[in-house]
Amino acid sequence: MDHHRQIRRGYPEVIYCPGKTNEQIIKIFSALAAKGNNVLATRAEERVFNALAETGQFADVRYEKLARAIVLEQKKVEPSKSAIPIVTAGTADLPVAEEARVTAEIMGQRTEVICDVGVAGLHRLLSHVQKLQDANVIIVVAGMEGALASVVGGLVSCPVIAVPTSVGYGACFEGLSALLTMLNSCAAGVSVVNIDNGFSAAVTATLINRKIEQAGSK
């Protein structure tokens, strides 16, 4: 059985859907759900969800359309005290931001999506500075020139997880431009995940936020 990106104890079971048939996904999903855990299927097209829903096996399964994720919550996780800001440069970055949001939430994290605050209009970003400076960790999602991660990183003193997106055309080279920008960030405290990988950014941010809150609750 394949659950490509498996997360550790207390976390949801995860299925990465591309390259699998509906039949394979349903089979894996059922097996994982049977353990009583929460299940998250990422990069799932809507027709995958429909096939899954039609089986009638999973009462509360839902489809997060923008995030392209299938979510089955069987165990409620207590929500984090501190919300993780998920900041995007433009509306076109939303699907990646949504994948991050859904992933973080099924892992018990509160989130706040701050959309369309790209660096060409600094005033929009600056109006959110207080919120960013209060966070334990921030996710920044940006395509094209990807400069948002550096600017955010320069404004705060918490770790920033940067997600380059493939949004753009021409010399954006499918996200390479934003990826290189983020890797070369002058702002210390910025680390980077794969292009369009909202899932991994959310897991990383969750690991950080959870460690902080667990330490605080001892």
Cβ closest to a copy of itself, residue 46 vs residue 59 = 46
Cβ closest to a copy of itself, residue 24 vs residue 74 = 24
Stretch that binds a copy of itself, among 33-41, 48-56, 68-76, 210-218 (CB under 8 A): 210-218
Q: Within 10 A of 157 (CB to CB), how many other CB atoms are there?
A: 8
What region does 32 belong to: left with phi over 0, alpha with psi -120 to 50, or beta?
alpha
First to last CA, the chain: 38
- Report if residue 187 touches a copy of itself, rule: CB under 8 A: yes
Let me know how many helices (H) and strands (E) the chain has, helices first: 8, 9
Q: Which residue from 41, 64, 90, 97 is in contact with a copy of itself, where contact means CB under 8 A?
A: 90
Query: Considering only residues 106-145, where is the footprint of a copy of itself by CB under 8 A?
Result: 115-116, 118-122, 136-137, 144-145
Query: Considering only residues 18-77, where is the footprint of a copy of itself by CB under 8 A?
Result: 18-20, 24
Q: Dihedral sign, CA of 110, 161, 157, 123?
A: negative
Q: Which residue from 56, 59, 78, 186 is in contact with a copy of itself, where contact means CB under 8 A?
A: 186
Task: Report the candidate in 71, 67, 128 with the shortest Cα–Cα distance to residue 101.
Answer: 67
